[in-house]
Amino acid sequence: MADKQNNDETPEEPIIRDKRRVDPETGDVREPDPEVGVSDDDAPAPADAPGATLSEEDQLLLDQASVDLVAEMRSDMLRAQAELVNFRSRVERDRAANRDAVIAEVIRSLLPALDDLSRAEAHGDLVEGAPMTIVAQKLRSAFEKYGLKTVGAKGEPFDPAFHEAVVQLPTPDVTVNTIADVIEPGYILGDRLVRAAKVAVSVPAE
């Protein structure tokens, strides 16, 4: 009985599916079998995969993004260059200001000696060719080399930014405050006031 039952059963033959896209006999392209589906090898490549072809719209968007990126990078570069130039200018300006401040401080410490020489000259103690006269000339030349200038002269209008009024003299002949006499000269170094001039001022009489 068992042998008879085994003989009645017919063995199932394997199902072979031809997945080739081209018919080897006719050379025509076959339509994909819906029952079989599409294998990974036959699936179309995604748009962002290497070798994929972009649409014209996507290509335009990509080109515009590239242009915008280049423009942004150029703008950042120009901004960085401008900041560097401003930084260098600020450093040079600060360096020059510090240099002038140091020179002004040194000159300010030497002004009493210059005042003594000026008084000696006013009293006739400095004669031409004398050693002290030569020293005074060299000292003044050194100061002038750095741009030191005298402020405050008789007859000039009084300016509180550069002059210090020690004495006020009511005078009927003047209409504005005017320097009547210089008690101690003042000095400026460039735009920096080293010492204000001490002056006597003629003021309009009431």
Domain for residue 124, yes or no?
A: yes
Structural domain range at position 177: 149-206
d(CA 154, CA 180) in angstroms, rounded, equals: 5
What pLDDT was estimated at residue 21? 63
CATH number of the domain within which 161 lies: 2.30.22.10
Residues 160 and 189 in one domain: yes
- Across the range 56-74, mean pLDDT stands at 82
**38 and 32 Cβ atoms separated by less than 8 Å:** yes
pLDDT digits (tens, 9 = 90+) for 150-175: 999 999 999 999 999 999 999 988 89
d(CA 73, CA 66) in angstroms, rounded, equals: 11
Q: What is the mean pLDDT of the chain?
A: 80
**147 and 107 Cβ atoms separated by less than 8 Å:** no
Domain for residue 4, yes or no?
A: no
Residues 141 and 102 in one domain: yes
63 pLDDT above the threshold of 80: no
What pLDDT was estimated at residue 2? 47
Domain for residue 42, yes or no?
A: no
Phi, psi of 190 (to 5 degrees): 70, -120
pLDDT digits (tens, 9 = 90+) for 69-126: 888 898 889 999 999 999 999 999 888 888 888 888 888 998 998 888 888 888 888 7
Contact residues for 90 (Cβ-Cβ < 8 A; gap 6+): none
Share of the chain above pLDDT 90, in %: 29
**Domain end position, chosen among 146, 169, 198:** 146
d(CA 19, CA 146) in angstroms, rounded, equals: 97
Closest CA to 155 of 173, 132, 135: 173
If one counts the domains in the chain, the total is 2
pTM of the model: 0.54
